[in-house]
Each structure stands twice: as C-alpha cells, then as structure tokens.
Chain A
Amino acid sequence: EAQVTQNPRYLITVTGKKLTVTCSQNMNHEYMSWYRQDPGLGLRQIYYSMNVEVTDKGDVPEGYKVSRKEKRNFPLILESPSPNQTSLYFCASSLSPGLDTEAFFGQGTRLTVV
C-alpha cells in the first residue's frame, strides 16, 4: 500500500532535548516536505526536498533541520525544542514538484514541548 509513515504519532518532550521525527515513503517519490499545523494558522511548510541531498527552507524553517540521505526518508530534527514548536506536524511526498502531481500526507505527529 502506498503510504507516508511518520513516527512517532505522539511525543511529549522537554525544552532543549533534541528529537527527531521520522518520515518514510514507499512510492519512490522525489519530492518530500514537512508542514506544521497550528490553530488559526493552517498548514505551513517548514522544509522541502527536491531529491536526495537537496533540501531548502519553506515558510517557517527556524528551529528545524532536515536531511535527505536517501530517497525514501526525510527526518525532521529539532536540535533544541521550545514550547512554541508544540504543534501537529505532517510529512508529505509527491512524485515530483511539478504542477500536475498530488501530494500524499502522513498521519501526523503531535508534538508537545513543555
């Protein structure tokens, strides 16, 4: 089954403790991205990757890092999480960044930073 898998689904952590949210897709997609969703602000893109070893900032990249060492995986790294990063996070992938391709989203990771 074609899918985007995120782990963990829920995470509670403390300020400053490094964490990684994993994202994996099994569709051989080139393009992957991370979004965060906050009440009243909708989904906002954090980082995206056009292909292996190619990443770039989205609209809200501060406080986040990503890596794309292999096509299927695109982990989101919070080196020093802060409470304002408490949010619902989604990973997405698509065949290419072109205009005529749909994006597949993971089921989300609800992160709470205390």
Chain B
Amino acid sequence: DAKTTQPPSMDCAEGRAANLPCNHSTISGNEYVYWYRQIHSQGPQYIIHGLKNNETNEMASLIITEDRKSSTLILPHATLRDTAVYYCIVRDNYGQNFVFGPGTRLSVLP
C-alpha cells in the first residue's frame, strides 16, 4: 500500500483557511487520494477525493501536485466545528481497504 505522511498536529484561527498537507510519494498511477476526518470518537466522515486534478466541494478543496507525490486539503473558512483529526488516505490497488494512519489533529482556535 502507498504510505502517507502528515504532520501530527496543526492550529488554525477561526475564520482563516486551514491548509493540511499530505505526502504520498509512492502513490501509484491509478490510486486516488482521499480525505476523511474524525470528530472526537465519531465515525470517520468523508470530505473529498481526487486522482490528478484539483477538486472542490461544499466542504473543502483538494490540491494535488502535478507529480502526485503530495496534496493539500484546504478548509477555506475554518470554524470551531472543524476541530478534528484529518486523515489523508491513498486507496490501495484493490480498493478493498482504507488504510488510516495517525492523521493530523487540527485545532481551530477562537
């Protein structure tokens, strides 16, 4: 499985953009990058995913570098409710498993 590396924690001021980086230097050509988040001990919540192009939805934007070795999740206007652990995941070749690493603990500060 491709491995991802994320910073263990980040802070962001409320109302500012939160930019969460992820390195996935061994990603294969047909593997997607997914982002999930987990608030407290609730079930992981899907945010966004992409293959090559940048993606945007109502929750966030995903910027993938041209070489696909890294990506950034952007929460454009972070709120206190965005405080959570954010997981960057590269889906394995058979698509049967989401391999969750330790993620980034984002704290949105008032």
User: A62 at interface (Cβ–Cβ under 8 A)?
Assistant: no
User: A74 at interface (Cβ–Cβ under 8 A)?
Assistant: no
Distance of A98 Cα from B48 Cα, bound (Å): 16
Residues of A within 8 A of B42 (CB): 107-108
Distance of A50 Cα from B94 Cα, bound (Å): 11
B95 near A105 (CB under 8 angstroms)? Answer: no
Identify whether the interface residues of A are mostly helix, strand, loop, or mixed: strand
Residues of A within 8 A of B103 (CB): 42
Distance of A59 Cα from B99 Cα, bound (Å): 10
Interface size of A as a range: 20 to 34
A42 near B43 (CB under 8 angstroms)? Answer: no
Partner of B96, one of A37, A48, A102, A108: A48
Name A58-95 residues within 8 Å CB distance of B.
Answer: 58-59, 88, 90, 92
The digit string for B40-71, where 1 denotes a CB below 8 A from any CB of A, is 01111110010100000000000000000000
B contacts with A, residue count (CB < 8 A):
22
Distance of A44 Cα from B46 Cα, bound (Å): 17
Distance of A56 Cα from B103 Cα, bound (Å): 27
Residues of B within 8 A of A12 (CB): none
Residues of A within 8 A of B101 (CB): 42
Residues of A within 8 A of B44 (CB): 43, 90, 92, 103, 105
Q: List the 6 closest A-B pairs by CB distance, nearest first.
A: A105-B43, A43-B100, A102-B46, A97-B95, A42-B100, A99-B95
Residues of A within 8 A of B (CB): 4, 31, 33, 35, 37, 40, 42-43, 45, 48, 50, 56, 58-59, 88, 90, 92, 96-108, 110
Give 11 A-B contacts (CB < 8 Å), ordered by A residue. A42-B100, A48-B97, A50-B96, A58-B97, A96-B95, A99-B31, A99-B32, A99-B91, A105-B43, A105-B45, A108-B41
Residues of B within 8 A of A (CB): 30-32, 34, 41-46, 49, 51, 91, 94-98, 100-103
